């Protein structure tokens, strides 16, 4: 069915023609060179005019808007990690996608950080040739299958999916959970423990193979556009060529997991931008007692706090991008960024929902949607608590995990 514009679309369009201070009030984007700054503005305008106004009904129905993927590809969002652009630009692009819709940003981020980038860096020439071109155009889709039903935060030590070497290749057995895009992916990058040496290895497993089955996880309170799945591998026979040569131990994938955690921190910053945008729009256009509620002191305090949280997040992420650019980013940095931006954004989402009053619980006004999506960011890619303990271990030298 064709996308339907939300009831507040006219207000969004009116506000787009009025000059207010930008949400990036310290001008983090001005650190980009001229070409990247212009490209970022183009992406921002595309996402705000063609994506944000139409995604609400998909969120309500728990559907991925496949019809929008070609448009995303046209703007280079299927090949962000192969673009040769600066780390700051890539981070701000992820933030802008999140600003338009958190679910689509999860899809775009996983696609780039954990599928395209991993295959490009660790895959065989055969795997690159077969998959990369289609992936960059969103004509092909993969999923990253690491988390399991009984192993999330402890996945490195507890991973139970197995890989058994045979004369013809490998046999994969196990179950994965919360796998983004798993219901429609062409393949999964599946991590399994080699029964011979105990190492966790990566395999590119096509979902057309016998024994692979995926079922959608329904009823989520947030990130509803992203299709998460349970995937079962039941005696799945794969050839030797399915082994990802650069992922023969879990250590080989740590850089990607670190980068992925930093990407989610950018999601936190981008969601902060969205929350400020929507809360300010609502406060300016909503009238009570004969005046816009933006005139009330309590509303202005909430908006100021939301902007402060967002500005702190963006500034932190600019420093994270600098560390990535110089090759100095480590997991404690990424963990601190992820736990901090998502914590601040979670607070901002609650403040914005308060500004919306009764309308704040309706998805047509976006505030409820942002509130629920913030809860997901706070939890996934390492919970707030686990990321805090990673930082704690780094600053004290003492691990709380064992």
Name the phi and psi angles at 161, rounded to 5.
Answer: -65, 135
Which pLDDT band holds residue 1 (cuts at 50, 70, 90)?
Answer: very low
Which pLDDT band holds residue 14 (cuts at 50, 70, 90)?
Answer: very low
Q: Which of 120, 99, 161, 153 is nearest to 310 (CA)?
A: 99
Contact present, 369 and 356 (Cβ < 8 Å): no
Contact present, 100 and 51 (Cβ < 8 Å): yes
Q: Report the run of H or E that residue 178 belongs to, with start and end.
A: strand 169-180
Contact present, 316 and 264 (Cβ < 8 Å): no
Q: What is the CATH number of the domain that holds 21?
A: 1.20.140.10
Please indicate, yes or no, whether residues 63 and 185 belong to a single structural domain of this protein: no
Q: What pLDDT, on the 0 to 100 scale, is given for residue 3?
A: 41
Q: Which of 185, 196, 191, 150 is nearest to 172 (CA)?
A: 191
Q: How far is CA 310 from CA 196, 232, 317, 384, in A?
A: 48, 39, 11, 18
Please indicate, yes or no, whether residues 21 and 147 belong to a single structural domain of this protein: no
Please indicate, yes or no, whether residues 355 and 264 belong to a single structural domain of this protein: yes
Last-in-domain residue among 220, 248, 276: 248
Please indicate, yes or no, whether residues 375 and 268 belong to a single structural domain of this protein: yes
Residues forming a β-bridge with 291: 288
Domain count, the chain: 2
Quote the domain boundaries for residue 278: 9-81+253-396
Please indicate, yes or no, whether residues 263 and 384 belong to a single structural domain of this protein: yes
Please indicate, yes or no, whether residues 228 and 290 belong to a single structural domain of this protein: no
Q: What pLDDT, on the 0 to 100 scale, is given for residue 308?
A: 97
Which pLDDT band holds residue 249 (cuts at 50, 70, 90)?
Answer: confident
Residue 110 domain-assigned?
no
Last-in-domain residue among 210, 233, 248: 248
Per residue in 303-333, pLDDT (tens digit) is 999 999 999 999 999 999 999 999 999 999 9
Please indicate, yes or no, whether residues 339 and 224 belong to a single structural domain of this protein: no
Q: What pLDDT, on the 0 to 100 scale, is given for residue 19?
A: 66
Q: Cα(91)–Cα(204) distance, rounded to whole angstroms? A: 27
Q: What is the mean pLDDT of residues 1-27?
A: 60
Residue 15 has pLDDT above 80, yes or no: no
Which pLDDT band holds residue 18 (cuts at 50, 70, 90)?
Answer: low
Please indicate, yes or no, whether residues 222 and 330 belong to a single structural domain of this protein: no
Per residue in 87-134, pLDDT (tens digit) is 999 999 999 999 999 999 999 999 999 999 999 999 999 999 999 999
Q: What pLDDT, on the 0 to 100 scale, is given for residue 12?
A: 46
Tell me which of 150-164, 204-218, 344-358 is least confident: 150-164
Residue 133 domain-assigned?
no
Per residue in 201-242, pLDDT (tens digit) is 999 999 999 999 999 999 999 999 999 999 999 999 999 999
Q: What pLDDT, on the 0 to 100 scale, is given for residue 200?
A: 95
Residue 29 domain-assigned?
yes
Residue 116 domain-assigned?
no
Q: Which two tokens stand for residue 156?
A: 């490195």
Q: Which of 355, 349, 301, 335 is nearest to 98 (CA)?
A: 349
Contact present, 172 and 192 (Cβ < 8 Å): yes
Residue 126 domain-assigned?
no
Which pLDDT band holds residue 21 (cuts at 50, 70, 90)?
Answer: confident
Q: Cα(79)–Cα(92) distance, rounded to whole angstroms? A: 15
Last-in-domain residue among 227, 248, 269: 248
Q: What is the mean pLDDT of residues 234-255?
A: 92
Please indicate, yes or no, whether residues 231 and 303 belong to a single structural domain of this protein: no
Residue 156 has pLDDT above 90, yes or no: no
Residue 9 has pLDDT above 60, yes or no: no
Please indicate, yes or no, whether residues 303 and 197 belong to a single structural domain of this protein: no
Residue 161 domain-assigned?
yes
Please indicate, yes or no, whether residues 187 and 230 belong to a single structural domain of this protein: yes
Q: What is the mean pLDDT of residues 23-48?
A: 96
Residue 217 domain-assigned?
yes
Residue 109 domain-assigned?
no
Q: What is the mean pLDDT of residues 176-180?
A: 96
Q: What is the CATH number of the domain that holds 182?
A: 2.40.110.10
Q: What is the mean pLDDT of residues 271-280?
A: 97
User: Across all residues in the chain, what is the average pLDDT?
Assistant: 93
Q: Which of 64, 26, 99 is nearest to 268 (CA)?
A: 99
Please indicate, yes or no, whether residues 261 and 378 belong to a single structural domain of this protein: yes
Q: What pLDDT, on the 0 to 100 scale, is given for residue 227?
A: 92
Which pLDDT band holds residue 26 (cuts at 50, 70, 90)?
Answer: very high
């Amino acid at each position: 069915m064709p996308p339907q514009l939300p009831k507040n679309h006219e207000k969004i369009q009116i506000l787009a023609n009025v000059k207010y201070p930008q949400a990036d009030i310290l001008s983090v984007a001005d650190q980009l060179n001229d070409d990247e700054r212009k490209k970022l503005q183009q992406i921002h305008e595309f996402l705000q005019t063609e994506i944000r106004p139409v995604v609400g009904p998909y969120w309500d129905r728990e559907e991925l808007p496949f019809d929008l993927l070609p448009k995303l590809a046209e703007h280079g969002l299927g090949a962000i990690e192969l673009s040769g652009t600066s780390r700051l630009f890539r981070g701000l692009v992820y933030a802008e996608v999140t600003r338009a819709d958190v679910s689509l940003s999860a899809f775009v981020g996983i696609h780039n950080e954990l599928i395209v980038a991993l295959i490009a860096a660790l895959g065989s020439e055969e795997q690159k040739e077969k998959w990369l071109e289609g992936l960059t155009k969103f004509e092909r889709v993969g999923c990253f299958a690491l988390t399991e039903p009984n192993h999330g935060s402890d996945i490195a030590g507890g991973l139970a999916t197995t890989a058994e070497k045979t004369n013809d290749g490998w046999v994969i057995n196990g179950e994965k959970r919360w796998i983004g895009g798993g219901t429609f992916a062409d393949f999964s990058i599946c991590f399994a423990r080699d029964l011979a040496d105990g190492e966790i290895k990566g395999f590119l497993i096509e979902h057309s193979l016998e024994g692979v089955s995926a079922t959608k996880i329904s009823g989520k309170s947030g990130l509803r556009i992203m299709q998460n799945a349970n995937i079962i591998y039941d005696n799945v026979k794969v050839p030797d060529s399915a082994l990802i040569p650069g992922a023969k131990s879990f250590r080989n994938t740590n850089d990607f997991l670190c980068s992925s955690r930093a990407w989610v921190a950018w999601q936190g910053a981008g969601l902060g931008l969205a929350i400020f945008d929507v809360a300010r729009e609502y406060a300016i256009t909503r009238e009570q007692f004969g005046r816009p509620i933006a005139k009330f002191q309590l509303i202005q305090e909430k908006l100021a706090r939301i902007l402060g949280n967002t500005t702190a997040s963006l500034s932190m992420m600019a420093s994270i991008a600098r560390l990535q650019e110089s090759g100095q980013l480590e997991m404690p940095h990424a963990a601190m960024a992820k736990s901090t931006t998502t914590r601040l954004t979670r607070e901002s989402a609650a403040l914005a929902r308060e500004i919306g009053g009764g309308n704040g619980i309706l998805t047509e006004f976006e505030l409820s949607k942002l509130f629920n999506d913030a809860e997901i960011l706070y939890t996934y890619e390492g919970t707030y608590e686990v990321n805090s303990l990673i930082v704690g271990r780094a600053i004290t030298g003492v691990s709380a995990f064992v």
